[in-house]
Structure formats: C-alpha cells, structure tokens
C-alpha cells in the first residue's frame, strides 16, 4: 500500500490520525441517497431543450403540439419564463452576491434569446415520465435565425468578429468597464532593458470539463410559498441565497437539501440554472419535478475550465536572475462570464517587475467556469514551462532557478510561515532529481526517451468566515451543525474530527448534521480550498464557546441541551498565509508513436496541520491525476465550420482509466502556524495546480522540445519531432 | 442583502411570472404564443428530430413485455416497456437506487451490475434482455447487515471520495474476487478498467480491492 | 428513448424471418448482440430502428467448431469468450483489446465487425455519408482520427479490432439473410467508400454476419494483434496491426498483415506481405517493411501523425514475432 509520509508534527487525540469517513458505510451499501435517487409522490420528470446552433436568434417557439402530448404537465420557454440566473453571468466574474447581481450588465436567464452556444437552454418540459418528457421536447418547434459565430478568444477580439454582446466580445469588469484585468508591478521595461537576454513564447491550453461522475439534476417542490430543492450542491448556503434572489423570494422561503453528491470540482457551488428550471416547472405544474441532465446536457449546459492563450516575455541575467516578467493572456469564457478567467502563477516569483494583462473574452463555445483551482493549473503550466525553458537556455538547473527566483517573505510582506525551500529540496532529494533529470534535454539515445521535470507553488490558505453550531445533551452526545455537503474530500468527517478534538471527546461521540439549509448554518461552500480553514475554524470557536458554557453551568441534565454557535471573522494579522508544494515527475516518451508514460511521480506538500491523513493523501493523489489528464488528454474540440462540439463525454475526452494511473508518492511536511483550526491549511486544490507543469517539463526534458499546447497529445509530440 | 423584491433590471414586475399562479393560470401558460413554425434540420440535432417526433411516443402505445428476473436473490415479475433500460428498471421501478447513471452511454461504468455473475453496463442493456437473469446490485452485497469483506475494505481504505462511482467499482471488484484469489494491483486495475473515477481515487480503490483479496483468501 | 419493440430470436433463421416481417411492415430493424453500441446510437438518435431483434438467446451461433479445413466461429460468440479461445493469438488478442470487461461480456464478434464508424461527425448527428447524406465533414474539418488509406469520399476509419484479425487470418464471412446463407471473402464483404460511402460492408437490411470460417494454418504460424490507443484501454485503435506469419526459423514463408485504425476498411498490406516472403526478420527488413506499409498513405490536413505511427507499429509487430 502506498502510504503517505508525514513529518513535522505529532498527531493529536483525534486530529492527525487516519480516520475512516463517517458516512463511508452508506456510500458502499447504496444507502446513500444522491439527489437523483430521491422520489416524491406525484413526481414529474423534466427535460431541457437545447440550441443546436452556436449563435442564433429565436424568432418563435411553438409549443402547441408538445402541449397536447398526453402526460405533459408543463412547458416553459423564454416566452413565458424570464427568470434571471444571476450566478450564470457576472460582471467581473466575481463571487455572485447582491451587489454583483445589481451591477451585472450581460444578464443570463434560464432561457436566452439569442442563444449563444450549442447547448444553450431554450425550453423545458415536465411530464409524467422521462420518455414522455423527451418526446415532448421533440415536438417543440423553434424557428431559429442563425447568426455568425466565433470560437476562439483572439479571433473574437479581432476587428469584424461577430459581436456576442452589443459592446463586443471583451468581458466587462466588475465596474462594467470593458478593460482587461491588469496587474502592473514595478517597471517591466526597465527590467527588460537591464536583462542580458529576453525570451518570448506563446502557450495555449484547452477546455477541461469538470466531468464529475454525477450529472446535474434538480428536484423541486413547493409547499405554499416555500421552495425545497434537492440538488447536488457544494455550497448549499450559496445555492439558497442565489435561488431566493433569482426567484424574488426571501432566503427562508428556499430550502436546499444535499446529503450526498457525486463530485463537482467547482461546478456545483452557486445555484445552477437547473435549480431554477426545476423550480419553475414545479410551480407551473403544481407538482414536484425532477429535472434530469444527460451527460451531454451536463457537458454543454454546465461548465469547465476556461481555455487560454498566454504570451510570455521574460528578461533574465546570465546567472539566472529574472529581471522582468510579462504576460498577455486570453481566456475563452463562452458567451457568459460565470467566473474570473484568471491565469495565475507569475506571483510565485519574486521578480520586482511584473506586468500581467488578461483579456476574458466571450466566445460561442460552452460556458467556462470554476474547476478545482480555477485560475491555476493552466497558468502555472504556462509560466513554469516558460521558466523551465529559460533555465535550460541559460544552462541553469530548474530547481536552482526556482530557488533563486521564487518569492520569499519580506519585512513588509511577511508570511505566517514559509516552507517552500524545504518542500522543494525534500522533493528533489526523494525523487533523486540530480540523477533523473537530463542535463541536456532530449539526450537519451533511441526512440524511448526519459526525462524529468518539476514544478512548485504557493497557493492561498487565507482565513475567512463561516458558521457552526454545536449542541450537547444530557447523555453527553454532541451534535455539530455545519452547512457542508461533502463533495468528496470528507468534509463531514473533517469537521467532526475538529469538533471532537476541541471538545476533548472521541469522534464517535460527535454526530455531524449537514446538507440542509433549514438545519445548518452558513458555510462558505466546499470550494476554493476554504472549508477546512473557514468552517473548521468556526467549529473550533463554537466548541470553545460550548466548553465555556459547560464550565460555567455544568453538563445539561434531563431534557436540557446546551447550544453554542460561532461565526468568527478571523484574520492573519496582516501576514500572507499560503500552502506550499512541489511535484517531481519522470516520464518516458515513445518518440515514434508519441505516447507519454509516467514512470515516477513524487509530491511534497506543506498544507499546515493535516486533519485526516487518509483523506488528505487522496486529495493530493486525486487532484494530481486530474492534472495529468489535463496535461495529456482532455480538451473539447469544436468543428470550426459549424461551431458544433465534437468531443463531449468521457470516451471522446479520453479520461484516465485505472490502467493509466501511476503510483503517486505523497509527503506532507506539517507545520502549525497558529492560524486556522489547529493550524490546518488546505489540500483540496494543491495537487492539480502542479501536475500539468511538472508533466510537461518532464516531457520537454525527455524529448528536448518545448510543448506549447495542452493537452500534449501524441499528434502534437509527433508534430514537433517530425 | 438588499431588497429582493426590487424589479428585475430589464423585466420589471409586469412580466407575467409562472412562479405566481395567481397572475397566470397554467392553461394560460400552456397556450403559448406564436404561429406554427418550421423546424430547421440543417444541423445535427442530437437525439431530437422531427423524424422521432412523428412517432409521438406515449406510454399507451409503447410496446411492453412481461419478464421475470431475480435481483439480489429476490424474484420479480414485472411488465416493462421494451425501451426501458435495465438501470431504469432497477432504479425507477424496483427502487434500487444504489446503481448510478453516470453517462448512460457505456462510457463510465457507474451503472455496473452483475448479470449472471458477470459485470455489465446496465445502462446499455434493455430490461427485456434481462428476462430470466440473476442480477446483483450493490444493495445485494451486504448479507444480514454485515458488509462484505470488500465493502469493509473500501470503508477502511477510503475507497469512496464522492462515492458516485463506488457501487460500480464494488460490483466489478466483487466479480473479480469471486473468480480470483488475492489479485495483485495490476490484475485489479485490468479487471476494473471499465470503471472510471473522476475524483481519481484510483490508487485507494485498488488498495482496497487488493486488501480485500488478501483478507478473503480463497475463491468465494 | 424513442419507442421501440424488442423481439427475442431463438435462432439465426428465426432472427432473419423476424427481420423480414418487420421490414415488410415498413419498420426499420437492428440486430442486437451485446447491445451496448446499438443502445448508444438509439439514445443519440443516430440509429432510428423501430424493432430490435435480440440475439442474446440464440444458442446455435456462438460456438467454435473445428473441422478438417479450418475453424468455424459463430458470430454471436462474446468477445470475452473469443479472447479466451485458442483459435489464433491474433484473434484472441484483438478481442481482448476491445473496450472493457463489461463490454466484452456481452459484445459479440458479429457486432464488433459490423459496428458503425466512430467518427465524431457521424456520431454527433451530422448528416454525412454514413447517416445517409452526401458529404464528409472531416475533409476540411477535424480529421486527426481519420483515414490515411482508402479514403474518399468518406474518410472514416473502420472501427473494428476483430475485423483486421479475421482478415489477416484469411477468414470468410458468413452472411445470413432471407435468401439463405452465403460466404464472402474479406474483399467481398467490406466496402470502400469509393464503392459506396454510406456503408462499411455489404449487409443489406435484414442480413447479418452469422459466422466466420478461418482456414487452417500451418503449424509454424505465429500471430499477434498490436493496438495503439490514446489511453491505456477503452478506446478504438489509433493504429493497429494484425499480423499472421508462417516462419521457418526466422525466415518468412507467408505473411498476412492487416491494419486497423488507419483505413476505411481493414487494410491488407499486400506489398509488405510480398516483400517479406523469403526474408529473415531482421531490424533492417522490418524497417523497410514499415516504410513500405505507408508508401501510398494519403494523410489529410491533421492526421499525418498516423503515418510514422503506422510504420513504427508494423516494425514493432513484426519484431515481436521474430524468432529470438
């Protein structure tokens, strides 16, 4: 068995000990009810009709025939259901909230006209069974006027490109200015002037669907004016608030329930249009409605990671010191700006002259949105491929290059703690970097060439707010109420372990109640690497409060209970808080047929104190594998002539199977920096950030050519070697 | 939080809203708008076409067949529509929702069940084809409230992350352990290759199956 | 799913009769062996059959029987059973390389040989030749996975693994239909797009591939199936090579080499076969064989990588059969 290694801290009573998930039994027996497993009496089935065109104006929708089909109970279209979906398009791509809802210029509705991508929703039907609903869709007659379309961000910004929105195709910022996102530090022109050498290159990355195993669905029903939604959500508090806002209701009129969900990796956080469509169908039909997405519905109708183009210019001295860094980037957002379009990675370097300009651009492809470390893997791949290239051209070992140029704490920008040196050197030693990397890339004889690459990072581990409630009864049974749903990392268990530790009781004495906005307080949502830090900290504070009450009043007796809650707003005293990581990869490339095999994969992470070693290990391994998939396989190809997507689904996108998976060595260096719950940081997104860069750098080391386009598929490798 | 009753920016409260039944009856709602329009079929319309529509499916005319099958040891006699898939029969009619639909296209393995002891994708088998068959689903693995050795190994080794692929992985692995003694990790990977895990918890799943194989010892 | 009806056939002739009846009623039919691919196509709307004729219960067409002149294999043998058989290594390996255990447990030889192309235009509902239209969208579009041999006007690659193995074994293809049974050579069975771009084989509606006959091979025959995929499993071939060699020591007495994944039909390398006869399998010889294999390749705009891949695959397959 591949054990993870831990060093630096000793386990506590509960925290730090390998712990089975508290709901693992339900998951292995089939008892766990996911959203689509739920049946309510009188439940109808819903289906969505989607645009077959990448860009078209709807002249008319005729639902007469469809309405007459026996068993059809409701049909909604843009003619009769103008429901805004605030989280579906946001000026500036920031977190959806009331100010952004009011400010957003380019509104997205549950049904849009014009339709702006193949798969854009046009209508929805509720019927007595699934087949009737599907048949009804086929009877809806839509008259489309096709419009010109554009698929690539640079083409979308060129003169004469079809305008997807009236102002053109550059997404507006949160102030509704049509400006790129700019970060301008120091003076890059001076930096380039000072440099011995200047390097330039263009990189591009593909669209990566979140591809979670559970397709989208939503079960809605109304009792008087209260809406209940059983929906797979990684942020029930967010979903409730978004849904209430979109439907013109108060928060307390919306209940979101999700006890089990099948992954999401960022596409199940806010509400989704499926929730609103189901709610509307249910209202019209006066019955519960289970809206089901097919896998293709999910692929086109939800979202994946934005494709990018990145132009880098780096200035450096001959000794490897970087004097200037410049990036001009383009993010293909689809026709709605659901999230930021960020391209991150440059800020892990200390270079005082850094200019980054990112254009988030509308295109007529499926929507882009958050996928596990939304701004990172593609950005880190771009900059760390570039820097790896610069290092080799200067004759410097990439590890030395990183240690020389990486950002470190300074007096005016201190960190809560800093482990990047140790993380990198530990990894290099464990991996045997000195022996495995080819000092001269591509130098192996014969068609099978080996090489090694590395990547490093620091990533946000900042603190923030959430809520927790904890209760104790006279039998000394504790109940913890937290608004998590456990998207896969084991949040219920992690929260339970934190409570148990703080309360000084075994985990078996703590019941975790989660997944229901009627019962659970606010949680930030399992996204952005925040739940352990933010909700976990709230758990600690609530437990402390409860202990104080117990100390003051004694344990409850009879029917009494003691209840404590906390909604702390912590800070890190002005210090930057980061987690740290480094990945080292050895590959073998078969240069005759373009196959890449991973021979060795070493990861080292400092993610603060690890709450549950087992689930933390599997977060690193799982995220890393997703990153390998991005590096080597996954993309969504469109036919340029028709704007039709060609490679939706697991087969077409070549998702990794059991036989594609390398062993992944995991080492955690543990540190308690005095912040967060017991010093915990985050491990959920860390692995995916590093994998594409490390794998790509290994390939470059093996074949002696830089791959500038993800995924690094065999046709591209054979292309550069031809 | 703001005033959630503020009129929407471009709709205003005058837009009839299907959310308020008092404003618009369902009948009004369904009486739609517009003259008959022509469907353009010049582009691919996956799964939905005027040709399909002509068949005007509804339950009254869909062919049905009576079948008998055993599921987890329990015998069922049931009338199924010929077009129902096995997974629909299991989930919708027999209330065995442990088997999941991940793709409905034989591309992911989440729907794996055992048919006469062999793993198959239940999304791609018509229910009628299971007439006379013995089906085992994840609900049939535990006996008398006791988890199987394999299920326990999944619990102990963090086999499920989100858990959605887990029933399918368990079924394929159960068949493997029924037929092999202590398979090694390569053998496990080959046997389970038809079960994807997007959480990518592959390493833990393999560790769990290997561990179960070692504990189980001889062929079951 | 659309309305359809299922008929369980008890024998091949029963299946053929049921098909004729349905066709006579103006219905469209599909034969179903394993059913995995058929159901996908029905759900996606690229197959619009009204009647499915289920062959799962047919017991007289899944056996392997040897006779004096060779081996007869029933078309309804599952790929799992075929992969465990000892008729020929190339056939067992080809069957084992298809899909996943779940698919192989139900999929049949016949279904695999006659499956429709997996071209992403066809399968996404484009009205191309394969859907009864008169255009091939890959030519000016995304053709990374399309044919470098035998293309025009359609450029799909033949999707079967079992078919190249059968062609390499010089199998004859037994077609059952309303007029009875007939036996066809590979050349007669498979259809180039230049002959008819809408079909990959000669089967008319109501006919099915009910079996194959494989002639006996000399005892010093070796064979193998080499498949290159874009992930380690569960994918159609990017390039595959089915090779059957009769060797005296390391010298080739007879050669039969067929490519998959690169041509519109299983692609027999006649020139390579002629070149190899009488030669020792040395590195120089296999290298020349690999070059010869692609001498008349006609790549499109984006599938040029298949050319060096094919050469490499042919070389490596031959070397793997060489006597050490």
pLDDT band for A3, please (50, 70, 90 cuts): confident
Q: What residues contact C117, with CB distance under 8 A and at least 6 apart?
A: C123, C130, C156, C157, C158, C159, C200
> For the domain that residue C159 is a member of, what is the CATH number?
3.30.465.10
Rounded-to-integer distance, Cα B218 and Cα B179, Å: 10
- Together in a domain, B155 and B217: yes
- C134, part of any domain: no
Same domain for C175 and C42: no
Provide the pLDDT for residue B21: 28
> In this predicted structure, what is the pLDDT of residue A527?
83
Place of tokens 């055992």: B114
Gap from B44 CA to chain C (nearest CA, Å): 5
Tell if the CB–CB gap between B32 and A64 is shorter than 8 Å. yes
User: Domain containing B181: what range?
Assistant: 142-220
Lowest mean pLDDT of A151-160, A482-491, B86-95, C117-126, name the range: A482-491
Q: Do C230 and A637 form a contact (C-beta atoms < 8 A)?
A: no
DSSP alpha helices (H): ranges in chain C? 12-24, 36-44, 79-83, 89-96, 101-104, 109-114, 162-168, 186-189, 270-276, 283-293, 306-321
Position B28 scores a pLDDT of 29
Q: Is ipTM strictly over 0.95?
A: yes
Strands A354-361 and A322-332: what pairing? parallel
Residue C287 within a domain: yes
* Residue B207, in any domain of the structure: yes
Mean pLDDT of the region A423-452: 98
**Residue C148 lies inside a defined structural domain of this protein:** no
Residue A141 has pLDDT above 50, yes or no: yes
Q: Which residue is closest to C34 within chain B, CA to CA?
A: B125
B1 belongs to a structural domain: no
| Structural domain contains residue C210 | yes
The yes-or-no verdict on residue A1 having pLDDT over 70 is: no
What is the predicted pLDDT for the residue at A93?
86
Looking at the structure, do residues B159 and B90 belong to the same domain, yes or no?
no
Indicate whether C190 and C232 sit together in one domain. no
pLDDT tens digits, one per residue of C278-320: 999 999 999 999 999 999 999 999 999 999 999 999 999 999 9
Give how far A417 is from chain B: nearest CA, Å. 30
Report the number of distinct structural domains present in chain B. 3
> Which of C299, C304, C165, C171 has its CA nearest to residue C241?
C165
- Return the pLDDT at A337: 95
> Structurally, how many domains does chain C consist of?
3
Nearest beta carbon to residue B126 from set C35, C127, C233:
C35
Question: How is residue B109 annotated by DSSP?
Answer: -
Q: DSSP assignment, residue A13?
A: S
Helix/strand/coil (H/E/C) assignment for every residue in A329-381 = EEEECCCCCCCCCCCCCHHHECCCCEEEEEEEECCCCCCECCCCCCCCHHHHH
Kindly list the residues of chain C whose beta carbon comes within 8 Å of any beta carbon in chain A: 1-3, 120-121, 124, 126, 137, 140-142, 144, 228, 230-235, 238-239, 302-305, 308-309, 311-313
A-chain CB neighbours of C133 within 8 Å are none
Distance between CA atoms of residues A611 and A606, nearest Å: 13
* Domain membership flag for residue C137: no
Confidence of residue A103 (pLDDT cuts 50, 70, 90): confident
Residue after which a domain boundary falls, among B43, B61, B79:
B61
Predicted local confidence at residue C255, as pLDDT = 98
Question: Band of the pLDDT at A119, cuts 50, 70, 90?
Answer: very high
User: What's the token pair of residue C13?
Assistant: 């002739």
Indicate whether C226 and C308 sit together in one domain: yes
CB contact under 8 A, B155 and A36: no
Tens-place pLDDT, residues A209-236:
999 999 999 999 999 999 999 999 999 9
Asked whether residue C144 is domain-assigned, the answer is: no
> Residue C108 in 3-state DSSP?
strand
Q: Which of C38, C55, C72 is the last residue of a domain?
A: C55
Tell me: do C171 and C305 sit in the same domain. Answer: no
> What pLDDT is stored for residue B7 in this prediction?
33
Question: What CATH number should be reported for the domain holding residue B81?
Answer: 3.10.20.30
Asked if B76 and B150 sit in the same domain, the reply is no
Is residue B29 classed as helix, strand or coil in its secondary structure? helix
Nearest to A616 by CA among A539, A533, A682: A682
In a domain, C243, yes or no: yes
Residue B44 covered by a domain = yes
Is there a single domain that holds both residue B115 and residue B184?
no
Is residue C98 domain-shared with residue C184, that is, in the same domain?
yes
Let me know whether C239 and C210 are in one domain. Answer: no
A82 neighbourhood in chain B, CB within 8 Å: 8, 11, 15, 17
Res A173 pLDDT > 60: yes
pLDDT in the model for residue B25 = 30
Beta strand extents in B1-140 (DSSP E only): 64-71, 74-81, 112-115, 118-121, 134-136
B219 and B148, same domain (yes or no): yes
pTM over the 0.90 mark: yes
How many percent of chain A have pLDDT more than 70? 100
B113 and B132 co-located in one domain: yes
Partner chains of B (3+ C-beta pairs under 8 Å): A, C
Are the C-beta atoms of residues C170 and C260 closer than 8 Å to each other?
Answer: no
* Shortest Cα distance, chain B CAs vs residue A486, angstroms: 7
Kindly state whether residues C167 and C271 are assigned to the same domain: no
Q: Tens-of-pLDDT digits for all 220 residues of chain B? A: 333 333 333 333 322 223 332 322 323 222 222 222 222 223 343 333 333 444 444 445 899 999 999 999 999 999 999 999 999 999 999 999 999 999 999 999 999 999 999 999 999 999 999 999 999 999 999 999 999 999 999 999 999 999 999 999 999 999 999 999 999 999 999 999 999 999 999 999 999 999 999 998 755 4
Largest CA distance in chain B: 73
Mutant choice from B83, B88, B136, B174 vs C, greatest count of C C-beta within 10 A: B83
Q: Do A593 and C309 touch (CB under 8 A)?
A: yes
Q: Do A283 and B161 count as a contact with CB atoms less than 8 A apart?
A: no
Partners of residue A614 in chain B, C-beta under 8 Å: 158
pLDDT class of C68 with cuts at 50, 70, 90 = confident
Interfacial B residues in 110-149 facing C (CB < 8 Å):
112, 115, 118-121, 123-126, 128-129, 131
Q: Are residues C196 and C69 in the same domain?
A: yes
* Residue A130 pLDDT exceeds 70: yes
Question: What is the band of C91 on the pLDDT scale with cuts at 50, 70, 90?
Answer: very high
- Domain of residue C225, residue span: 221-322
Q: Are residues B135 and B147 both part of a single domain?
A: no
Average the pLDDT over each of A177-181, A592-596, A685-689, B26-30 and give the range with the smallest value.
Answer: B26-30
Indicate if the pLDDT at residue A400 is higher than 70: yes
Residues B119 and B158 in one domain: no
Say whether pLDDT at C260 is over 60.
yes
pLDDT confidence of residue C324: 63
Query: Do both B79 and B129 map to the same domain?
Result: yes
Residue C127 lies in a domain: no
Shared domain for C38 and C171, answered yes or no, is: no
Residues 45-104 of B with CB under 8 A from A: 45-50, 52-53, 55-60, 62, 81, 83, 88, 91, 95-104
* pLDDT score, position B60: 55
Q: Considering B140, B170, B205, which residue would you say is the last residue of a domain?
A: B140
Residue A191: name the closest of A92, A321, A72, A290 by CA: A321
Among C3, C43, C54, the residue with its CB nearest the CB of B47 is C43
The pLDDT assigned to A358 comes to 98
C77 in the same domain as C164? yes
Structure tokens at A630: 């991005």
Determine the pLDDT at residue A102: 81
In this prediction, residue B61 carries a pLDDT of 80
Cα torsion A352, A357, A358, A361 to 10°: value is 180
Residue C309: give its domain's CATH number: 3.30.390.50
**What's C25's domain CATH number?**
3.30.43.10
Q: Indicate if B146 and B217 belong to the same structural domain.
A: yes
- Any idea which residue has 């689904």 for tokens? A649
Last residue of a domain, one of B88, B122, B140: B140
The most distant pair of C-alpha atoms in chain C lies apart, rounded to whole Å, by: 61
Average pLDDT in the A438-460 region? 97
Is residue B96 domain-shared with residue B161, that is, in the same domain? no
**Residue C202 predicted with pLDDT over 60:** yes
* B202 and B136 part of one domain: no
- Residue B201 in any domain: the answer is yes
- Domain end, chosen from C189, C215, C241, is at C215
Are residues C307 and C236 located together in one domain of the fold?
Answer: yes
Residues of A in contact with B40 (CB under 8 A): 143-144, 146
**C88 and C2 in one domain?**
no
Judged by CB atoms closer than 8 Å, whether chains meet at C312 and A715 is answered as no
CATH of the domain at B172: 1.10.150.120
Question: So what's the pLDDT on residue B26?
Answer: 29
Contact of B68 with chain C, judged by CB distance below 8 Å, is answered with: no
Of C9, C51, C101, which to mutate for an interface test with B (greatest number of B Cβ within 10 Å)?
C101
């Amino acid at each position: 068995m591949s054990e993870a290694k831990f060093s630096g801290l000793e386990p506590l009573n509960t925290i730090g000990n390998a712990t089975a998930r508290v709901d693992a039994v339900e998951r292995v027996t089939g008892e766990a009810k996911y959203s689509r497993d739920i049946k309510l009496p009188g439940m109808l089935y819903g289906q969505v009709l989607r645009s077959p065109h990448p860009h078209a104006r709807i002249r008319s929708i005729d639902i007469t025939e469809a309405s007459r089909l026996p068993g059809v109970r409701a049909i909604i279209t843009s003619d009769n259901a103008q429901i805004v979906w605030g989280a579906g398009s946001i000026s500036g791509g920031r977190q959806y909230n009331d100010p952004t809802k009011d400010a957003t210029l380019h509104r997205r509705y549950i049904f849009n006209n014009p339709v702006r991508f193949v798969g854009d929703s046009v209508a929805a039907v509720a019927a007595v069974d699934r087949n009737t609903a599907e048949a009804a869709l086929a009877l809806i007659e839509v008259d489309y006027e096709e419009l010109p379309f554009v698929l690539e961000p640079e083409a979308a910004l060129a003169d004469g490109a079809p305008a997807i929105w009236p102002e053109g195709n550059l997404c507006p910022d949160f102030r509704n200015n049509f400006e790129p996102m700019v970060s301008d530090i120091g003076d890059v022109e001076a930096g380039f002037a000072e440099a011995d050498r200047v390097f330039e290159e263009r990189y591009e990355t593909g669209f990566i669907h979140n591809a979670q195993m559970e397709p989208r669905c939503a079960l809605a029903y109304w009792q008087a004016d209260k809406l209940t939604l059983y929906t797979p959500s990684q942020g029930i508090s967010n979903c409730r608030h978004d849904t209430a806002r979109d439907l013109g209701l108060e928060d307390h009129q919306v209940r979101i329930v999700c006890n089990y969900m099948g992954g999401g990796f960022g596409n199940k956080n806010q509400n989704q249009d499926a929730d609103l469509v189901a709610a509307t169908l249910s209202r019209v039909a006066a019955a519960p409605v289970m809206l089901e997405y097919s896998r293709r519905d999910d692929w086109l109708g939800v979202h994946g990671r934005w494709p990018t183009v990145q132009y880098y210019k780096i200035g450096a001295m001959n000794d490897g010191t970087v004097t200037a860094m410049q990036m001009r980037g383009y993010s293909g957002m689809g026709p709605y700006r659901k999230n930021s379009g960020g391209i991150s990675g440059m800020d892990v370097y200390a270079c005082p002259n850094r200019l980054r300009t990112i254009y988030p651009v509308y295109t007529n492809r499926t929507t882009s949105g958050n996928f596990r470390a939304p701004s990172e893997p593609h950005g880190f791949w771009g900059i760390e491929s570039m820097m790896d290239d610069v290092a080799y051209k200067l004759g410097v070992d990439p590890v030395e290059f990183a240690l020389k140029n990486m950002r470190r704490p300074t007096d005016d920008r201190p960190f809560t703690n800093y482990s990047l040196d140790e993380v990198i050197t530990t990894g290099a030693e464990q991996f045997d970097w000195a022996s495995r990397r080819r000092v001269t890339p591509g130098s192996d004889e014969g068609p099978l060439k080996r090489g090694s690459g590395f990547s490093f990072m620091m990533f946000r581990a900042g603190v923030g707010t959430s809520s927790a409630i904890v209760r104790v009864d006279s039998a000394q049974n504790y109940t913890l109420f937290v608004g998590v749903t456990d998207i896969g990392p084991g949040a219920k268990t992690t929260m339970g372990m934190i409570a148990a530790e703080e309360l000084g009781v075994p985990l078996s004495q703590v019941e975790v109640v989660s997944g229901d906005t009627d019962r659970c307080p606010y949680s930030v949502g399992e996204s952005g690497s925040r739940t352990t830090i933010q909700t976990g900290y709230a758990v600690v504070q609530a437990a402390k409060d409860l202990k104080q009450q117990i100390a003051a009043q004694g344990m409850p007796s009879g029917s009494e209970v003691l209840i404590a809650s906390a909604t702390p707003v912590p800070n890190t005293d002005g210090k930057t808080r980061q987690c740290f990581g480094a990945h080292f990869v050895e590959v073998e490339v078969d240069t005759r047929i373009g196959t890449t095999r991973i021979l060795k994969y070493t990861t080292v992470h400092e993610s603060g104190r690890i709450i549950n070693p087992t689930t933390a290990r599997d977060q690193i391994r799982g995220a890393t594998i997703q990153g390998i998939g991005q590096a080597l396989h996954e993309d969504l190809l469109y036919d340029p002539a028709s704007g039709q997507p060609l490679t939706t689904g697991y087969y077409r996108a070549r998702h990794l199977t059991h036989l594609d998976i390398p062993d992944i060595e995991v080492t955690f260096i543990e540190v308690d920096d005095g912040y967060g719950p017991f010093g915990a940081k985050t491990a959920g997104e860390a692995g995916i950030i590093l994998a594409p860069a490390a794998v790509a750098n290994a390939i470059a080391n093996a074949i002696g050519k830089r791959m500038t386009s993800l995924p690094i598929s065999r046709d591209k490798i054979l292309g550069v070697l031809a | 939080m703001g005033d959630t009753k503020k009129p929407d920016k471009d709709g205003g409260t005058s837009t009839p809203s299907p959310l308020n039944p008092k404003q618009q009856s369902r009948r009004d709602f369904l009486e739609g708008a517009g003259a008959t329009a022509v469907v353009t079929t010049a582009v691919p319309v996956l799964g939905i076409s005027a040709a399909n529509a002509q068949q005007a499916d509804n339950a009254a005319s869909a062919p049905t067949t009576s079948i008998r099958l055993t599921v987890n040891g329990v015998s069922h006699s049931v009338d199924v529509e010929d077009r129902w898939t096995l997974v629909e029969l299991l989930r919708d009619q027999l209330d065995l929702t442990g088997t999941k639909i991940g793709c409905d296209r034989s591309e992911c393995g989440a729907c794996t069940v055992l048919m006469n002891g062999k793993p198959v994708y239940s999304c791609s088998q018509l229910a009628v084809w299971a007439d006379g068959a013995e089906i085992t689903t994840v609900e049939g693995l535990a006996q008398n409230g006791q988890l199987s050795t394999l299920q326990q190994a999944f619990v102990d080794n963090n086999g499920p992350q989100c858990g959605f692929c887990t029933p399918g992985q368990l079924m394929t692995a159960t068949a493997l352990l029924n037929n092999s003694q202590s398979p090694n990790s390569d053998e496990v990977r080959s046997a389970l290759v038809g079960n994807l895990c997007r959480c990518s918890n592959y390493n833990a799943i393999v560790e769990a199956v290997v561990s179960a194989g070692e504990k189980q010892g001889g062929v079951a | 799913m659309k309305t359809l009806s299922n008929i369980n056939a008890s024998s091949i002739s029963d299946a053929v009769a049921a098909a004729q009846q349905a066709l006579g009623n103006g219905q469209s039919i599909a034969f179903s062996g394993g059913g995995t691919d058929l159901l996908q196509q029905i759900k996606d709307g690229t197959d619009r059959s009204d009647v499915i004729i289920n062959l799962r219960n047919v017991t007289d067409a899944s056996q392997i029987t040897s006779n004096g002149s060779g081996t007869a294999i029933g078309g309804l043998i599952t790929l799992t059973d075929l992969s465990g058989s000892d008729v020929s290594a190339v056939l067992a390996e080809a069957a084992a390389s298809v899909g996943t255990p779940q698919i192989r447990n139900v999929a049949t030889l016949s279904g695999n040989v006659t499956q429709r192309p997996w071209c992403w235009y066809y399968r996404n509902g484009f009205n191309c030749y394969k859907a009864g239209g008169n255009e091939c969208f890959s030519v000016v579009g995304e053709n990374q996975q399309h044919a470098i041999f035998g293309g025009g006007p359609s450029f799909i690659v033949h999707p079967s693994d079992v078919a190249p193995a059968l062609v390499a074994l010089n199998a004859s293809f037994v077609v059952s239909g309303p007029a009875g049974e007939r036996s066809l050579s590979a050349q007669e069975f498979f259809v180039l797009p230049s002959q008819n771009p809408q079909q990959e084989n000669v089967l008319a509606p109501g006919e099915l591939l009910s079996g194959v006959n494989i002639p006996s091979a000399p005892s010093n025959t070796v064979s193998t199936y080499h498949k290159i995929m874009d992930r380690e499993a569960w994918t159609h071939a990017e390039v595959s090579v089915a090779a059957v060699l009769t060797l005296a020591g390391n010298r080739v007495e007879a050669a039969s080499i067929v490519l998959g994944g690169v041509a519109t039909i299983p692609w027999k390398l006649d020139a390579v076969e002629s070149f190899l006869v009488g030669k020792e399998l040395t590195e120089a010889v296999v290298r020349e064989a690999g070059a010869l294999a692609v001498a008349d390749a006609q790549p499109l705009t984006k599938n040029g990588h298949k050319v060096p891949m094919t050469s490499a695959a042919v070389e490596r397959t031959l070397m793997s059969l060489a006597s050490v």
